[in-house]
Amino acid sequence: MDFETLKRQMQEAGIAGAGGAGFPSYGKLSEGLKVLLVNGSECEPLLYTDFHLLKRELSTVLSGAETVAEVLGIPEVLLCIKAHTAEQLSRKDGEPLSSRARVKILPDVYPVGDEVSLIYQATGKVVAPGALPKTAGVLVFNAETAYNIGQKVLRGENVTEKWVTVGGAVEAPFVVRVPLGTPVSDLFARHSVAVPEGYAVLDGGPSMGKLIDPERAVVTKTTKAILVLPESIEAVRSKRMDAEMSVARAETACCQCTHCTDVCPRALLGYPIEPHKLVRTSPQAAEADASLVLAASLCCGCGLCTDFACCQGISPKAVIDHYKTVLKRHNLRFGARVTPKVSAEREYRMIPVERWKKALGVAKFDKLPRFLGEESYSRVELPLLQSIGAPALPAVENGAKVERGQIIANAAEGLSLPLHASIAGTVRILGGAIEIERKE
């Protein structure tokens, strides 16, 4: 297979970064790379999606990664997993998996799965601030993304399903493969998952997941987990705090202790980001001169500054998220050439996962989920935009009958992915989504 064929196949299959970022994977392919990292680090607490995927489908994951490496001439593939996952999967550091692939064991710290942190931890290279991983000669795919590439090259399968952890305050957490577009309410109903008064639901992990309405939300290409968590814990409380509230608190309560900067994983890698300074920048000044908050674009959103460091109830993350939207509006990104110098303190300041779970208030919910296999649902709702880039354009009409795997929306111009039917049934076009219903 040649470069263009692989790129076309990956786009045709609708493969997006399955780890949460949702970047169209074909857009990451490049010549001259030295190492491919398969990210199975499962950085977020309570998530066991990649664990079950690697336990059951390692050969497909490796086929996807090996194919990319072969076509792009990448000499080395590293399957990156944390120490606790390696133990559960009985894998050793450096263990060969094929002629070019081997296991790389990462420490049980947070947030080692963040792309920039992962690259440093696995290869010792630091991606320059604001630059793409390929500038360091590295390509990173989430384990499920590599699995989806394997499914396409081995079996011709387009992306129609998602591996998802359902956990948190549920009686028996589980991992399941469901059709894309499965309504969260149907998934909960099938498994008798209740959301009691005073509980919230997240799409994603407790650190970086988003609050969702379980009555309206559906499983998308970037859904790694659906978690039910009490409103009272830090993981949920801090997500309810907006930038306005945080700026108001910062004005009165921030003592400029710099703890938020001391633990920031990007600052520890030598990136010019200092959350304590961003917190004290006034939003009015940032609006008038967005370059004052350019460093906000270097934040990976890990939440350590907020849920771990700040004892004044301020959310530097919420402030920084606000500044990210200001930068987007002004079409600005960090572009200065900076050669980062990794802090000598980094090794000692990395946060052990167990401490992180306690800070978030989720330690008591951490149980190894059962794997339930594949499930089928009779109705799905597929958003036209499930990745970074432009939304797909419907290619079917109201009332059309479709088969599973069939294209229902084409990729738009530029960075975009097509969409495939995740179940067989009858189509209904909704604003921004396509519903498919199968009459039983």
Residue closest to 141 by CA, chosen among 85, 72, 202: 72
Measured from the CB atom, is 235 or 305 closer to ligand SF4? 305
Q: How many CA atoms lie within 13 A of 9 on its CB side?
A: 20
Rounded Cα–Cα distance for residues 10 and 406 (Å): 15
Distances (CA, A) of 296 to 18, 20, 162, 211, 413: 24, 20, 31, 22, 29
| Closest approach of ligand SF4 to the CB of residue 60, in Å | 33
Q: Which is nearer to ligand SF4, 270 or 316 (CB)?
A: 316
Query: Applying CB under 6 A, does 282 fall inside the site for ligand SF4?
Result: no
Judged by CB under 6 A, which of 47, 127, 247, 302 binds ligand SF4? 302
CA nearest to 171, candidates 190, 191, 201, 200: 191
Mark 317-346 with x for binding to ligand SF4 (rule: CB under 6 A) and - for no binding.
x--x--------------------------
In the bound state with ligand SF4, the residue whose beta carbon lies nearer, of 187 and 264, is 264
Contact with ligand SF4 (CB under 6 A) among 15, 304, 318, 408: 304
> What is the distance between the alpha carbons of residues 192 and 187, in angstroms, rounded to a whole number?
9
Nearer to ligand SF4, 4 or 251 (CB): 251
Min CB(113)–ligand SF4 separation in Å: 13
Q: Draw the binding track, 248-277, toward ligand SF4 (x: CB under 6 A; -: no contact).
A: ------xxxxxxx---xxx------x-xx-
> CB of 309: closest distance to ligand SF4 in angstroms?
5
Q: Which of these segments, 164-172, 226-234, 308-316, 322-330, binds ligand SF4 (CB under 6 A)?
A: 308-316
How far is 342 from 266, CA to CA, in rounded Å? 9
Task: Please state the closest distance from residue 350 (CB atom) to ligand SF4, in A.
Answer: 12
What six digits make up the tokens of 326? 């200001």
What binding mask, one character per residue, do residues 2-31 give for ligand SF4 by CB under 6 A, x or -?
A: ------------------------------
Residues 260 and 283: their CA atoms lie apart, in Å, by 19
The type of residue at 439 is: K
Which residue in 249, 238, 300 sits closest to 21, CA to CA? 300
CB of 308 vs ligand SF4, minimal distance in Å: 8
Q: At what angle do helices 243-253 and 316-329 cross, to 10 degrees?
A: 120
Residue indicated by tokens 């219903």: 437
**Min separation Cβ 207 and ligand SF4, Å:** 9
Contacts 24+ apart (CB under 8 A), 271-276: 271/116, 271/129, 271/295, 271/298, 271/338, 271/340, 272/129, 272/298, 272/336, 272/338, 273/298, 273/299, 275/299, 275/305, 275/316, 275/317, 275/319, 275/320, 276/316
Tokens matching residue 109: 């710290």
- Cβ nearer to ligand SF4, comparing 145 with 306: 306
Q: Binding segment for ligand SF4 among 85-93, 154-162, 296-304, 415-423 (CB under 6 A)?
A: 296-304
Least distance between ligand SF4 and beta carbon 211 (Å): 17
Residues that bind ligand SF4 (CB under 6 A): 254-260, 264-266, 273, 275-276, 279, 299-305, 309-310, 312, 314, 316-317, 320
